[in-house]
Amino acid sequence: MTTRARAAVGVSAADLGSYQQAVRRVLTCDLITKERPRPGVLDQVLRWADEMTRDFRELLGYTLIATTHHVRLVRHLDVLDETQRSIFSRKGKPFDRRRLAYLCLVLGSFQRSRIEISLADLVRTFTPLANSVGGLGFDPAIGSHKAAVVDVLGWLVDRGALRLSDGSLEWWARDTERGDALYDIDHDICAVLFKPARPVQHLTSAAGLVHEPPHANPVRRARRLLTEFPVVYYADVDPEVADALRSPCLAEDLVRFTGLALERRAEGVMLADPGGVFTDRPFPGRGNAVSRAAGLLLAKIADLLEDPEHVPERLPVPALAADQAGLVARMDTGLPRDGVVSELAWSAAEAEPVSPGDRPAPAEAPFVERGRLESMTTELYDEFGAASFTTAWQQDARGLLDAVVAFLADLMLLRPVPGGVLVLPAALRYRNIRAALPTRTSGGQLALVALPAPAPQKDPSAWEHAPAQEEER
Amino acid sequence: MAERRALDLDSPAISDRFRLFNFTRRDDHVAYLWVLRAMDRLREVHRVQVDAGEVQGALTELARLHDEVPTFDGNLRDRLDALYEDGVVHRFDDASRAGNLVRYRNRQSVYQFSELGYWAYTSVEGLLAARIQDANLSRLVFSDILEDLKALAAANRAGQGEQVYRRLSRLDSVMEDMGRRSAHFHVTLGEIIRSTDASPETFLRYKNALLTHMSEFMAELDRYLPRLAAAVRDVETSGLASLLDRAAAADERPFMDRHERLEDWRRRWSVLRAWFAPEGPEESRAGELRNATRIAVSGVIALLRQISEAQRGGVNRATQLRHLAEWVWNAPDEGAAHALMGAAFNLRSARHLGAAHEDTEQISPRNTWWDAPGVEVSVTLFRSGKAPTTGVPTPVRGNPGARAALRREQAAERAAEREAAGHLVGMGAHGRELDDAETRVLLKLMTRALEGRTVVAGRLRRGSGADDAVMIRLVPSDRGSAVRTARGLLHLPGFRVEIAGRTPVAGSRAGGSR
């Protein structure tokens, strides 16, 4: 590695914490404005704008756009990611395709020469646009269409792209004829929100949305993977990137940059977040049913894997690159070819064929069948009481299991495969959650006292003692 | 002037005249227009009354020059009759004798433009001929206005009635022209800005000239505005009433009486005044025009940016976003749609796993996650579904009852003390037995007095001490003194106690310190 200034050089030791917090904010919040995510954050972040801009550029190749009104990180994307659904979501619900399409159309219909727009006018310009997209359309008489517009405008208002100056959106949603709302348009924010790597209309494939061919600059790529993703397994990345990841100096820079704790193991490396907020998928979360069930399921899986009587089947982990290719192919099926400006079209560089000997042998991971996962969930419902998984999931153990598996897959702890899941190595770092499971009578550990069948609501207190001791062990 | 005359028409007359434009609303209005053009062409060569055949001939001639001339398959007569119904043309029957029924029925009609019909036609043509190229802000007009205003003031002072009238009516028409032009310009500009998606080339070709034109106009306006305002005031100081009077007198409109003419001129003058020298706080109309121009300049610049952005990539944001909307909508599943949006907008969030080892150094990086110990996780969180807390913070107890009791106690104590002090002041400390409360007060005061007294040349001088109600003085005395209390006798060797109320303190202290 070249001799290069370390991260956060100009920052004194006393200020490092504040600097790292600002970095984490920028990496997790899509757009920071005076009100978003909270008043006061913008000032905290702007204090470090110059240092951060330099570090982001040198370490990761990112561009930080910082003005006195907003801060936005323009990333250098290496992969397409279908799990980032919390960005385009509102009140915890990810947008469906209709909302996503509406968002594009609404954002595209703000003319530079207009500084404000009423909802009625907006709908007037937006409706023909929506109707011109086959099957999309907008009809104010259809409630779901209106709800989609409401969510889209809410999303824009949250980010400060629109500012309500009169009327109200709810009024319009109730009564399209008479209700109206007047919005100021912040064109700077509108412009800064949409930052594709290449003009979208020049693309003949979704692969063009990624910035550079995957083999360029492995060191920065390694840093980006470590900064953006929960775990990086050496087996998933190219050999050059894996080498870069093994370099101690790379990790040290990132630890100083983000303030996270480095965890290096034989299978891979990760930055662990002791604070638990430097993420869009908090785990272990704070009282969220899915994240709690996810932890308990990991505990059950750890139990199973350590059961001497159970010999897990080990299967090769499918390569992430194959997943990417599949995702790109899926995205490309939707590409409207008519809209592509073919004269200037970008086409993917010929992917150099990877010789089979080049790639490391795919790692193997223990396989847990779907049926077993379902019985684990049933056990959890029996042991903890269905009601403790909140009313939303009380009657829907399968649904919770699906949500949990998807959640753990997003965290790169499980890998769904046909018929079940593969348990990825980092999942085992949460094995201590087993202490939360009630004392088992099997698995070689005999309960000293056979507990009388406890009433469901007393469950937690009845188990208070034994697991606590176990935890301290 | 024409506009004002129009105000006199009553509504039936207006609807009659509006009927003249009916042809523009018919299904094939373009065909009607060409018929009228053919008739106008004939009229130019003094063929005022024409029949359908001649019109057809003129149309054929026109068709040689213009591709868009429609063909009339025998229904030209119907068109001409329709125009007759609208009143655009007059229809005259051919006066020559037919002789038999067939010929009578096929008898030709001849057509001629009606006077008003011709006006309607020319105004439609005028409208069609209007081009944005005509639009301009007349910046050269300011010097004319200034000159006219000066001449007006001079003529008024000299009492030249006709000159006053001439100048004033010229000003009037110039102002009208200026108002119309600026309105025209801004409307046109607005239209260019709105319709630029269709023809950015026109705009780009003229952008520099346009911006120069507007900024020159603003500069000129800035330069002339104070001078024009001064000139208007100068005219008014030359006598506004006589000015209007003279103008009305020289005005030759016969259908208005003098009073109406005066009123008319007064109104015109106030309009002129509002342009350059308004009364009150509101902006003059020239100022408004300047503001509008300034806003228009920024609009043009914004448009320029938009167009150049579009031209750079061959696409602009709006078309890209539309394209993306279609792409997203056609995505096979939500995952692909979100992947697409996230990548196209370049929006995502970092994601990390929570909980870390306290001492990372102790675990070898060569260990696998299988072998390495697990991280410390709050078990309560998973057992109960609730995050562990350090316990509910205890509420701050407001204890008004106890506080009030303490306060009462304190107040009672103070009252007792004050009463005892009162007794001491009233009866003195000597020659009687003091009760406990009085003794407490006395001892307290004596403590202060003893702390405060001074030693001068080995001899104790007298000291004094006081609280807010009582003042005690220890006066040196050879015999000393004793105070009898309920608990026994208090000997004070070398001192005598004097006690006084606080009010006369100033005087007694003055005496004491001497």
3-state secondary structure B341-394: HHHHHCCCCCCCCECCCCCHHHCCCCCCCCCCCCCCCCHHHHHHCCCCCCCCCC
Of the candidates A326, A247, A299, A328, the residue with the CA atom closest to the CA atom of residue A413: A299
CB contact under 8 A, A201 and B315: yes
> Alpha-carbon torsion B252, B258, B264, B269, what sign?
positive
**A residues 341-370 closer than 8 Å to B (CB):** 341, 343-344
> Alpha-carbon torsion A163, A167, A172, A174, what sign?
positive
Going by pLDDT thresholds of 50, 70 and 90, the confidence category of residue B391 is: low
What whole-number distance in Å separates Cα of residue B410 and Cα of residue B204?
A: 89
CB A430 within 8 A of CB A411: no
Rounded to 5 degrees, φ, ψ at A402 are: -60, -45
Cα separation values, B403 from A30, A385, B409, B410, B502, Å: 53, 49, 10, 11, 31
Who wins on pLDDT, A417 or B203?
A: A417
CB A80 within 8 A of CB B352: no
Cβ-Cβ contacts under 8 Å for A92 (sequence gap 6 or more): none
Tokens representing B264?
């008319």
Give the pTM.
0.61
Residues of B in contact with A278 (CB under 8 A): 350, 352
Amino acid occupying residue B103: R
Per-residue model confidence (pLDDT) at position A289: 87
Per-residue model confidence (pLDDT) at position A452: 46
Of the candidates A135, A333, A320, A92, the residue with the CA atom closest to the CA atom of residue B340: A333
Mean pLDDT calculated for residue range B306-331: 79
**A residues 183-202 closer than 8 Å to B (CB):** 191, 193-197, 199-202
Half-sphere exposure for A172 (CA within 13 Å, toward CB)? 24
Residues of A in contact with B386 (CB under 8 A): 287
Per-residue model confidence (pLDDT) at position A87: 92
Task: Evaluate if residue A453 carries a pLDDT over 70.
Answer: no
Task: Evaluate if residue B132 carries a pLDDT over 70.
Answer: no
Per-residue model confidence (pLDDT) at position A447: 42
Least confident piece of the model among A54-58, A369-373, B126-130, B164-168: B126-130
CB B20 within 8 A of CB B120: yes
CB A42 within 8 A of CB A67: no
Task: Evaluate if residue A468 carries a pLDDT over 60.
Answer: no
Per-residue model confidence (pLDDT) at position B502: 65
Residues of A in contact with B354 (CB under 8 A): 272-276, 279, 282-285
Of the candidates B423, B461, B455, B460, the residue with the CA atom closest to the CA atom of residue B442: B423
Nearest to B353 among A196, A283, A335 (CB): A283
Q: CA nearest A115 in B: which residue?
A: B299
Beta bridge partners of A366: A314
The chain-wide mean pLDDT, for chain B, equals 79
- What is the percent of chain A with per-residue pLDDT over 70, rounded to a whole number? 87
Task: Evaluate if residue B506 carries a pLDDT over 80.
Answer: no
Cβ-Cβ contacts under 8 Å for B256 (sequence gap 6 or more): B264
Least confident piece of the model among A368-377, A405-414, B418-427: B418-427
Nearest to A209 among B193, B343, B353 (CB): B343
Going by pLDDT thresholds of 50, 70 and 90, the confidence category of residue B393 is: low
- Chain B nearest C-alpha distance from A172 (Å): 24
Mean pLDDT calculated for residue range B134-161: 82
Task: Evaluate if residue B96 carries a pLDDT over 80.
Answer: no
Going by pLDDT thresholds of 50, 70 and 90, the confidence category of residue B48 is: confident
Secondary structure letter of residue B195 according to DSSP: T
CB A283 within 8 A of CB A407: yes
Residues of B in contact with A235 (CB under 8 A): none
Residues of A in contact with B359 (CB under 8 A): none
Who wins on pLDDT, A10 or B96?
A: A10
The 10 Å Cβ neighbour count of residue B255 is: 6
Q: CA nearest A305 in B: which residue?
A: B370
Per-residue model confidence (pLDDT) at position B233: 87
A97 in contact with chain B, both atoms CB, cutoff 8 A: yes
Cβ-Cβ contacts under 8 Å for B336 (sequence gap 6 or more): A82, A327, A330, A331, A334
What whole-number distance in Å separates Cα of residue B419 and Cα of residue B425?
A: 10
Task: Evaluate if residue B297 carries a pLDDT over 90.
Answer: no
Amino acid occupying residue A62: Y
What whole-number distance in Å separates Cα of residue B507 and Cα of residue B312?
A: 98
Total beta-carbon pairs less than 8 A apart between chain A and chain B: 340
- Chain B nearest C-alpha distance from A176 (Å): 24
Mean pLDDT calculated for residue range B65-85: 83
CB contact under 8 A, A327 and B342: no
Per-residue model confidence (pLDDT) at position A466: 39
**A residues 209-248 closer than 8 Å to B (CB):** 209-210, 227-231
CA-based Rg of chain A, rounded to a whole angstrom?
25
Mean pLDDT calculated for residue range B465-494: 77
Least confident piece of the model among B105-119, B206-220, B380-394: B380-394
Going by pLDDT thresholds of 50, 70 and 90, the confidence category of residue B310 is: low
What whole-number distance in Å separates Cα of residue B8 and Cα of residue A387?
A: 84
Q: Which residue has the tokens 């002090």?
A: B421
3-class secondary-structure state, position A94: strand
Who wins on pLDDT, A395 or A339?
A: A395
Per-residue model confidence (pLDDT) at position A455: 43
Residues of A in contact with B342 (CB under 8 A): 80-81, 84, 87-88
Going by pLDDT thresholds of 50, 70 and 90, the confidence category of residue B160 is: confident
Mean pLDDT calculated for residue range A70-92: 91
What whole-number distance in Å separates Cα of residue A247 and Cα of residue A260?
A: 17
- Chain B nearest C-alpha distance from A446 (Å): 20
Least confident piece of the model among A347-351, B4-8, B326-330: A347-351
Per-residue model confidence (pLDDT) at position A96: 94
CB B492 within 8 A of CB B478: no
> Can you spell out the DSSP letters for A271-331?
EEBTTS-SSSS-SS-SS-HHHHHHHHHHHHHHHHHH-TT---EEEEPPPHHHHHHHHHHHH
Residues in chain A: 473
The burial class, CB within 10 Å (0-12 / 13-18 / 19+), for B389 is: exposed
- What is the percent of chain B with per-residue pLDDT over 70, rounded to a whole number? 81
CB B211 within 8 A of CB B189: no
Nearest to B352 among A230, A296, A302 (CB): A230
Nearest to B385 among A287, A429, A463 (CB): A287
Secondary structure letter of residue B49 according to DSSP: S
Give, for B444, the enclosing helix (H) or strand (E): helix B436-452
Tokens representing B469?
């109600």
Per-residue model confidence (pLDDT) at position B283: 73
Nearest to A327 among B299, B339, B354 (CB): B339
Nearest to B334 among A96, A193, A197 (CB): A96
Rounded to 5 degrees, φ, ψ at A162 are: -125, 150
- What is the percent of chain A with per-residue pLDDT over 90, rounded to a whole number? 44
A29 in contact with chain B, both atoms CB, cutoff 8 A: yes
CB contact under 8 A, A107 and B321: yes
Which of the residues B308, B375, B382, B389 would you substitute to probe the A interface, choosing the one with the greatest number of A C-beta atoms within 10 Å? B382
Secondary structure letter of residue B291 according to DSSP: H
Of the candidates A208, A252, A243, the residue with the CA atom closest to the CA atom of residue A222: A243
Task: Evaluate if residue B311 carries a pLDDT over 70.
Answer: no
Cβ-Cβ contacts under 8 Å for A234 (sequence gap 6 or more): A242, A245, A246, A267, A268, A269, A360
Q: CA nearest A24 in B: which residue?
A: B350
Going by pLDDT thresholds of 50, 70 and 90, the confidence category of residue A101 is: very high
pLDDT digits (tens, 9 = 90+) for A25-35: 999 999 999 99
Per-residue model confidence (pLDDT) at position B334: 92
Cβ-Cβ contacts under 8 Å for B219 (sequence gap 6 or more): none
Per-residue model confidence (pLDDT) at position A299: 92
Which of the residues A24, A200, A304, A390 would you substitute to probe the B interface, choosing the one with the greatest number of B C-beta atoms within 10 Å? A200
Q: Which residue has the tokens 């990345």?
A: A237
Cα separation values, A18 from A15, A25, A30, A45, A72, Å: 5, 11, 19, 9, 18
Cβ-Cβ contacts under 8 Å for B260 (sequence gap 6 or more): none
Q: Which residue has the tokens 């968002």?
A: A103
CB contact under 8 A, B351 and A279: yes
- Identify the top-confidence range among A449-453, B23-27, B336-340, B366-370: B336-340
**A residues 386-415 closer than 8 Å to B (CB):** 388-390, 410-411, 413
CB B308 within 8 A of CB A112: no
Cβ-Cβ contacts under 8 Å for A330 (sequence gap 6 or more): B331, B332, B333, B335, B336
Mean pLDDT calculated for residue range A222-244: 91
Task: Evaluate if residue B396 carries a pLDDT over 90.
Answer: no
Cβ-Cβ contacts under 8 Å for A141 (sequence gap 6 or more): none
Going by pLDDT thresholds of 50, 70 and 90, the confidence category of residue B329 is: very high
What whole-number distance in Å separates Cα of residue B284 and Cα of residue B286?
A: 5
